Chain A
């Protein structure tokens, strides 16, 4: 690669460069303003919004960059396309929400003298995720996954207020090390056969019937293990409940939304660039016969959603319950991937957009209540609907949306998913997903029962929330209701972004 193409490549990674610069700015400002850390969250906002600006400005930019000279002209380290831009926007928006979240959270306020490290690590996560959604080379994929993981291991145990924090961090680290080891082994198998780490080179290799089925199956399953760990798909989900319960709640929300989004984007790009032979006129992806991604993902997703939903039934800690619920949602979204068509892809993107809002909203309400009562236990939610009407109503909206009932955005998300499944003749799978939604209704509504029907002796203890938090919660809840009724703009957006650079 010559200097000229290096120079033109900069434009394609402008958002990532912005994030990296913001990361370094945070570290420097943390050193200069030793006593006053108030400025750091604003640098974080500035970094995220500038990166958002660059993503939006380059939204329609397509092409592969950072080409490897020994390979074909069209193969590079990163692929810039609208699909990637959509997920980058999703990641950046959820990061901005999480920074607001962190500024409010009591847990993070207690450790505010370490704010510099906190935000630097968050930016490490963002950078890792941005490269995950855009990388088309297995080396870069592995490195970005590691960057995301390393930052999140530390953040999971960041507050050090309780023993649970350390437990969360350690569990996350050990499971993560195993998963990344498995992924690396899978990558080495692919490299051993293809002779290149590039996904497009992998695709070229698979066009010829050279590959050994057994070896390739092993490699695909091992690489999926690394990604499945990130998106907490069964059987790689064991870390999820403990880590989600022990981590600071802002990080829990972040892991459940942004880090999953990046994992899914990576999985979709891996299949789309690495394994798809051709796309027919109806937008169905025809996969190389070497590995049956569809059956594999369907089995994993049914396992994931069933395990997630049934384990959530008995949880009394709301953070833990939302952790299992996020496992179940990963199962639903995997079904959208399993359809392996442009329709399925659209369903996944709609689902993720709505899931981001409702999940962050639910965690935010749980955080506000936990800050006041010091507990996430479901019994402490007794009578909460009367003590704090606004939060009660907002949590109701979020939970109904997570269940997937109208008139909320969650209904639209599930609807499009099921339409995509039925279109692809996966009716049996759609029925299982539907039954799973019915199961999930029980544990979501159980919280509502505690909030409104069970009285507690503290009923008259109203509690105050600040104006900005009121706006934030109301805004998210209103958005969920709005998306349940008027969702055309979202669909139009998603229709235009399912484009890949190969």
Chain B
């Protein structure tokens, strides 16, 4: 067990524990804060995988952006901070069966599949390569993403706008 393994298990533990807390705590603001640790833990795992660009994006977009928006949404919405979310358990038997089957399937998929893997090389920065790919091989996808964002903006403006009575 070398130092990388230890760091991996550390991040994995942070992710799992805070993820569990996100869905179990009753206060919605606490839940949002635990989400911060979950997303941070995932960013750490990306770093260990040598995916530096994705790790930074994960930090900037999810931890820095989406989570702050989420907190603002919670705080600006009237009275929602005091409300306990309903966390009661319903239909426990079918849920356990469903989750059990799903867990079994996922585990056997993970262990029995021969995954395609590349040999571990020295880790190099990926940002420049991603940039090159985005404007060469994946240029169509890149341009289409731009249109997708435009549509998302138009859609958000349409939903948010209040109609004149």
A interface residues, Cβ below 8 angstroms from B: 1, 6, 13, 20, 23, 27, 66-70, 77-78, 111, 113-114, 117, 120-121, 124, 127, 131, 139-140, 143-144, 146-147, 150-151, 153-154, 157-158, 160, 169, 189, 192-195, 210, 212, 214-215, 218
Contacts and interface: CB of A to CB of B under 8 A. Distances in A.
Given A117-B158, A120-B154, A139-B138, 19 more contacts: A1-B137, A23-B150, A66-B140, A67-B137, A68-B137, A111-B163, A121-B151, A121-B154, A121-B155, A121-B158, A127-B144, A127-B147, A140-B144, A154-B158, A160-B163, A194-B116, A212-B112, A214-B108, A218-B109
A160 B158 CA distance: 10
Contacts of A111: 163
Interface residues of B, number: 29
Contacts of A193: 113-116
A157 B138 CA distance: 33
Interface string B140-165: 11001101101110110111010110
B140 A218 contact: no
21 contacts: A1-B136, A1-B137, A23-B150, A67-B137, A68-B138, A117-B154, A117-B158, A124-B154, A143-B144, A150-B148, A150-B152, A153-B155, A154-B154, A154-B158, A158-B158, A160-B163, A212-B113, A212-B114, A214-B109, A214-B113, A215-B113
A23 B147 contact: yes
Given A121-B151, A195-B116, A77 B158 contact: no
Contacts of A157: 159
Given A6-B139, A140-B141, A212-B114, A151 B108 contact: no
A195 to B, nearest CB: 4
Secondary structure of the A contact surface, majority rule: helix
Contact of A147 (B105, B109, B148, B161): B148
A66 B139 contact: yes
A144 B112 CA distance: 32
Nearest to A71: B137
Nearest to A69: B137
A12 to B, nearest CB: 10
Contacts, number: 97
A430 to B, nearest CB: 34
A304 to B, nearest CB: 22
Contact of B145 (A20, A121, A143, A195): A143
Contacts of A169: 159
A201 B139 CA distance: 20
The 10 closest A-B pairs by CB, nearest first: A154-B155, A195-B116, A124-B151, A215-B113, A212-B113, A68-B137, A117-B158, A66-B140, A215-B109, A147-B148
A9 to B, nearest CB: 8
B137 A143 contact: no
Contacts of B155: 121, 150-151, 153-154
B144 A131 contact: yes
A212 B152 CA distance: 38
A189 B106 CA distance: 11
A192 B114 CA distance: 9
A157 B147 CA distance: 21
A162 B77 CA distance: 23
Interface string B112-129: 111110000000000000
A262 to B, nearest CB: 15
Nearest to B162: A160
Nearest to A152: B155
B13 to A, nearest CB: 23
A214 B157 CA distance: 44
A254 to B, nearest CB: 16
Which of B108, B141, B163: most chain A CB closer than 10 A? B141
Given A127-B147, A215-B113, A154 B159 contact: yes
B113 A139 contact: no
A88 B145 CA distance: 21
A147 B154 CA distance: 12
Interface in B45-78: none
B144 A192 contact: no
B139 to A, nearest CB: 7
B113 A192 contact: yes
Contacts of A147: 144, 147-148, 151
A151 B147 CA distance: 11
B157 A117 contact: yes
A144 B144 contact: yes
A117 B144 CA distance: 19
Contacts of B138: 68, 77, 139
A173 B54 CA distance: 26
Given A151-B151, A210-B114, A189 B109 contact: yes
B49 to A, nearest CB: 14
A212 B110 CA distance: 11
A214 B154 contact: no
B159 to A, nearest CB: 6
B154 A27 contact: yes
A1 B136 CA distance: 6
Nearest to B143: A20
A23 B149 CA distance: 13
Contacts of A218: 105, 109
A22 B109 CA distance: 45
A3 to B, nearest CB: 9
A113 B161 CA distance: 12
Contacts of A70: 137
A189 B152 CA distance: 28
A216 to B, nearest CB: 9
A66 B136 CA distance: 9
